[in-house]
Structure 1
């Protein structure tokens, strides 16, 4: 019997090649789009799954309130970790990671190699994270000062296949300092879907010999947020209970000091598995993903799949009359309704399986380009999980697309069918119209969503940030030779000016409290702060509102500072130049003074999701406080300017690797990577949805025209023109588009407004965008059904009526 069903199904599919082809293409596009979104979702939600104890791993994060401002961060003071471990028995173990550099230069005997991030790490790291060692012993690898564990990649780059254990290396810290170390182990490279990556893990006890505030204590460093603190809960203990105990911990050790500064600290536990997707709003330690993009991808996967199924249902039920006699004969010969339903659902599953094969071929061909576009590593491997996912999709599509048509077709009464009586009703037609309106609504929503995201991104990328980002090159600052490199480079007209900075725009800025002379200690105002040299303002084109910039001939500038317009407004200064500002030093033991010598026009250093904060710019007290060289080049001669910089670098630093140039424009654009991904997802989703809808319209319009061909013939005999007939056939589809437009507008307006609320600088939803989306869907609809409509309208009515 099953063989008979399969044979009949194949025969029917081949008999109606045109409809079968439309269904196959529609299902292929729908399945490919849905599977791609599901693969993306699976990849994004699989971050840190390599940790075998992930269900018990947490990172301590928190928000800090002072001066009326909330700052969220993924870091904690280093002193918290040991105290938490000692005070709370629910914590089985704890480890800290203190970031050193995002790109690390390592010096060997006769050459230098550039690697990825470096961290100081507690010896307990291997007890918390699942980071197996390729060489060395986990228990001792990070217990001794001045030892380092290398990643397998950097170990191979530095030492090849030789065992590096015991070998000396020197890290160039990039700020005028070096750090001699001995290799104590090699770890296997972490997977790409890890929220943290590193090439160098330096023993945390090394910090004690460097005098960098370790070992820390709650009295002196209890508010100096510098480390990522990860803890491992004991089995059977609740993270919620520990979360509820953290306010008591803060009050017990830091309550008096926080109140003295008018501040408030609210730490909480973040499951490690959530860091990648749920921490995009953190000032430090934020993840590179965004759960909102995952939600959008899931909605798109659902919409695309439902659209493909809706096409199948529409075309199958529309063609049900042609299969009525087959159903009637089967029932007369003893077939049951259940058998008829089984047969037609089997056809649906068979067609879906065929479309699945095509969609897999399509995905395998497109995935390399998609990964480049999204900067992802999405792969389609036929693992058990993947096979289960594909099987689930096939069954879901088969059931969604096949159940209703099978129910409709199997309900035909054999006596009515064999007598030739009409068996069509209004229910099926209404259902088809609902599905058509749904398809159009999805298309309208996605087009408006794509357009709104593009408008917002275009707006923020063209917004005046208050500084010149074009033609600015960023280079990591070496420990020596800057003045020689600068002077040699500036001899060339392609190099306009050069300066130094401790922080680059687009990266996290440190926050410090500032007060005016005579103000209470608990009335601190949070200020962003960084160090810059004399030429920095020229490189960035900062605009002076009042006072002056730094001058080399002014020795008193060492104790001076620049502030922005927002700082003047927040502090309520009438005559800011000459005002003395006070702020606590890093250990919060004494007040550091600086005199305001100038006010610069407000400029944005972060994503335009945030507003402009009060800012203080100071001269570095020593060269090591600078981390980057910023160079203004002739942007019209960029290639030649970069060549000159590279040549001068190799001349001044022959022992260092080739410089890695970064453009400030790229840094700024990098703040909106997730938004660009979201735009691409919306664009792809709207394109696929429109293609699927067009395929459905093509098949459905052909059927509807065929059903009304005699009516068209009669109207033409009665004197109707081709244009009148075309308008008649267009009218129904035009009504569907208008209904979809009315339904879709409030939905996408609300969704767009919610997304735009995340930006301090935003556009308002443009009414023209809503009109444009309706016009696009209308034109696409007219074009899709136009071929069938015009062809029917031009048909000779005599031949139609004679047939």
Structure 2
């Protein structure tokens, strides 16, 4: 019986070659997209889930009232972890971790090998809290001494070309804070699913020794991680942590709370101190897109199967006359669907394997096709659901023909059947139009972000770390740098303009400060003379810092948002207090020192030189290559053994929107896929209509109907479908994209042409899909069909 069904399935595939290949292409494309999205979603859901203690691993976060809102930070007091471990009964283990920070970047060397690396600092119990596989060394003692260092397997290969017999060897680290000789005590494997990557791990005791200010409860630096006991009540833990914090730091409105660590990647956005969806919204969105794309592909199968129904009526009639039951016929038709899905899945797996390198390049992931139990179950579930979804309706429809009518070639469709078929195509185009609107809006918002005037000129500016001998000979280096051919200006800042300023303080006071302004927080940068000029910031009032005025080392320059928040009129010459009196000498126009997700906050500059930091150089447009070569030559004169590594400020800025850029690219690909599959669906419906109305068209042509009349007869139906789809899709698209744009503090407005473009493209797609079938209708020979 199975062989009999397979023979019939093979003959039908061979008989209806066009519909077979259209279905094969549609289902294969749908399955390719579904598989790629499945791999991406699975990887996103697994980020930071690698720890054995995942269920009980929490991170302490800090809520800080900030200018009429609540700002959530991960930076906590340096001694918090140790205080919690000894004071809170629900805490089983607690560790402080200083995550990789560009300010602590340095050169790691062994013999002639030297690499730049950004270290992480951690308490001794780090490897009891976080699960990393050790190749060499004892994880319980690797951070026991300040002179010990653990390195990743990759770092070991870069320095020694091997990971064997290197425990106990000495390596040098060059950095303003942590320069010295260190003994390798452990080698670990990096975790590919970790959201934070590090290659070198130093002792946290070393960090406390070199940065003693972190021990002050008023300061923040490390992140704090806890392993809670199984019966711990989270709310009770939050209350106890905050209570402990307030005993150490009085007269503050800040509070602490814990969040499960592995949830922070997907739920790492906060609104007034409360975790919100964050990246999880994109996981859900692409999950829905995968279902819709696969659903559209299944709809195509249904439409094409019913479109060729009239050509299979006699087959059904003969089988029923010979005693075939409806159930057996349904098995055959669902079998066709399952076999076609199986072939499509095989094609999709081959194509996915070929496309994964490009997909990884777009998403920044390292996905691969490995057949584990989860993947096999996922493939089985996807193929089974696809087979049933695509084949169930045709199976019920075809097996339900009346034998007598089927043998006579009479195919009577009810209004409900036609309505279902039309509704499925409308659904396809609703999804396609919404995706077109989404792609258009996302593209223009990302374009707006890239091209928006930030208040400073980020083009032709490079930055590199102030390290090695540059720190001791900084003024000499800057002086020579400014006179280097191709250099327009140069300066220094401690922090970064990309993704947020490194310093924030509430300790600033001024004359006339109201009671409700006492908790006003200011972001600030420690800079050198010339920084404002290097960035081409606009001076609104007063002047910039100048070495000609000796008092400028204690002066201050605010942005307009700060002056507005303070309510100071005629600020130039007035005095504020920030670790001593400082005179306001200038006000710069507001500029974006955070991403466009955030509104511009109160901000100021002051002159100061810390260890570390970044040197910014504006180079002459058109002479970038020559200027960078000259800068590198000068850099080597000061740091002979250190490699010169620099970044363009514009590239640094774009990094803030890496995830959004990836989403935009993926959206375009998946929208294009949905459109292609929808066109195949429309092609299926057009084929069905032409086949069903062939005699009607023949009669009309006999009675004098022109080709234009035939085109009008068929196209009116499709135009009506597109209009219905537009009527449904426009408001849905408006709501979805309006909600997405709300996440940006600075955004484009939804324009009429976003929707007009989607409507126009949907009509173009429709005509492209049905053109071939309308051409067939025009060429119908009336004699042939009137004889039947």
- TM-score under structure 2 normalisation? 0.94
Residues 464-522 of structure 1: CA deviation (Å, up to 9, x unaligned): 11000110111111232344444444444322111111112113322111221474787
Offset at residue 292 of structure 1 (A): 2.0
The answer to whether structure 1 residue 654 and structure 2 residue 649 are counterparts is no
Provide the C-alpha distance between the structure 2 equivalents of 1:149 and 1:795, rounded to a whole number of angstroms: 78
Provide the C-alpha distance between the structure 2 equivalents of 1:145 and 1:229, rounded to a whole number of angstroms: 20
Q: Verify the 8 A CA contact 1:31 1:355 in the aligned structure 2.
A: yes
Q: 1:617 aligns with which of 605, 608, 620?
A: 605
Provide the C-alpha distance between the structure 2 equivalents of 1:231 and 1:636, rounded to a whole number of angstroms: 53
Aligned residue for 1:318? 307
Offset at residue 449 of structure 1 (A): 0.5
Aligned residue for 1:687? 672
Residues 492, 534 of structure 1: CA spacing in aligned structure 2 closer, same or farther, 3 A cutoff?
Answer: same
User: Comparing 766-775 with 408-417, which one deviates more in the overlay?
Assistant: 408-417
Aligned residue for 1:235? 230
The answer to whether structure 1 residue 68 and structure 2 residue 56 are counterparts is no
Residues 407-432 of structure 1: CA deviation (Å, up to 9, x unaligned): 11222232433355444322221111
User: Comparing 675-684 with 113-122, which one deviates more in the overlay?
Assistant: 113-122
Q: 1:507 aligns with which of 488, 493, 499?
A: 499
Q: Give SS of 1:62's match.
A: strand
Aligned residue for 1:328? 317
Provide the C-alpha distance between the structure 2 equivalents of 1:257 and 1:166, rounded to a whole number of angstroms: 48
User: Comparing 737-746 with 292-301, which one deviates more in the overlay?
Assistant: 292-301
User: Comparing 240-249 with 667-676, which one deviates more in the overlay?
Assistant: 240-249
The CA RMSD over aligned residues, in Å, is: 2.4
Map 1:2-17 onto structure 2 (within 5 A). 2-17=2-17
Q: Verify the 8 A CA contact 1:534 1:550 in the aligned structure 2.
A: yes
Residues 303, 110 of structure 1: CA spacing in aligned structure 2 closer, same or farther, 3 A cutoff?
Answer: same
Q: Verify the 8 A CA contact 2:139 2:186 in the aligned structure 1.
A: no
Provide the C-alpha distance between the structure 2 equivalents of 1:706 and 1:323, rounded to a whole number of angstroms: 12
Residues 66, 462 of structure 1: CA spacing in aligned structure 2 closer, same or farther, 3 A cutoff?
Answer: closer
Q: Give SS of 2:521's match.
A: strand
Provide the C-alpha distance between the structure 1 equivalents of 2:701 and 2:155, rounded to a whole number of angstroms: 80
Provide the C-alpha distance between the structure 2 equivalents of 1:633 and 1:781, rounded to a whole number of angstroms: 52
Offset at residue 739 of structure 1 (A): 0.4
Q: Give SS of 1:293's match.
A: helix
Provide the C-alpha distance between the structure 2 equivalents of 1:157 and 1:59, rounded to a whole number of angstroms: 32
Q: Verify the 8 A CA contact 2:152 2:188 in the aligned structure 1.
A: yes
Residues 357, 282 of structure 1: CA spacing in aligned structure 2 closer, same or farther, 3 A cutoff?
Answer: same
Provide the C-alpha distance between the structure 2 equivalents of 1:28 and 1:593, rounded to a whole number of angstroms: 70
Q: Give SS of 1:603's match.
A: coil
Offset at residue 96 of structure 1 (A): 1.0
The answer to whether structure 1 residue 117 and structure 2 residue 118 are counterparts is yes
Provide the C-alpha distance between the structure 2 equivalents of 1:535 and 1:731, rounded to a whole number of angstroms: 68
Q: Verify the 8 A CA contact 1:505 1:606 in the aligned structure 2.
A: yes
Q: Verify the 8 A CA contact 1:104 1:171 in the aligned structure 2.
A: no
Q: Give SS of 2:661's match.
A: helix
Q: Give SS of 1:257's match.
A: coil
Provide the C-alpha distance between the structure 1 equivalents of 2:483 and 2:526, rounded to a whole number of angstroms: 26
Task: Structure 1 unaligned segments of length 5 or more: list them.
Answer: 259-263, 584-590
Residues 115, 51 of structure 1: CA spacing in aligned structure 2 closer, same or farther, 3 A cutoff?
Answer: farther
User: Comparing 485-494 with 780-789, which one deviates more in the overlay?
Assistant: 485-494
Offset at residue 697 of structure 1 (A): 1.9
Aligned residue for 2:26? 26
Aligned residue for 1:410? 399
Q: Give SS of 1:225's match.
A: coil
The answer to whether structure 1 residue 306 and structure 2 residue 299 are counterparts is no
Q: Give SS of 1:278's match.
A: coil
Provide the C-alpha distance between the structure 2 equivalents of 1:387 and 1:417, rounded to a whole number of angstroms: 41
Residues 724-768 of structure 1: CA deviation (Å, up to 9, x unaligned): 211211111111110000100111100111111111111111111
The answer to whether structure 1 residue 461 and structure 2 residue 462 are counterparts is no
Aligned residue for 1:212? 212
Q: Give SS of 2:709's match.
A: helix
Aligned residue for 1:586? none
Provide the C-alpha distance between the structure 2 equivalents of 1:502 and 1:13, rounded to a whole number of angstroms: 69
Q: Verify the 8 A CA contact 2:70 2:272 in the aligned structure 1.
A: no
Map 1:242-641 onto structure 2 (within 5 A). 242-243=237-238, 245-254=240-249, 256-258=250-252, 264-280=253-269, 290-481=279-470, 482-509=474-501, 510-513=503-506, 514-517=508-511, 519=513, 523-583=518-578, 591-620=579-608, 622-624=609-611, 626-641=612-627
Provide the C-alpha distance between the structure 2 equivalents of 1:411 and 1:116, rounded to a whole number of angstroms: 70
Offset at residue 60 of structure 1 (A): 1.2
Residues 521, 125 of structure 1: CA spacing in aligned structure 2 closer, same or farther, 3 A cutoff?
Answer: farther
Residues 724, 463 of structure 1: CA spacing in aligned structure 2 closer, same or farther, 3 A cutoff?
Answer: same
Offset at residue 606 of structure 1 (A): 1.0
Residues 489, 82 of structure 1: CA spacing in aligned structure 2 closer, same or farther, 3 A cutoff?
Answer: closer
Provide the C-alpha distance between the structure 2 equivalents of 1:791 and 1:417, rounded to a whole number of angstroms: 25
Equivalent pairs, count? 779
Offset at residue 392 of structure 1 (A): 0.9
Provide the C-alpha distance between the structure 2 equivalents of 1:81 and 1:446, rounded to a whole number of angstroms: 47
Offset at residue 163 of structure 1 (A): 3.2
Residues 656-703 of structure 1: CA deviation (Å, up to 9, x unaligned): 12x222111111111111211221122112100111011222233123
Q: Give SS of 2:509's match.
A: strand
Offset at residue 74 of structure 1 (A): 1.7
Provide the C-alpha distance between the structure 1 equivalents of 2:407 and 2:512, rounded to a whole number of angstroms: 100
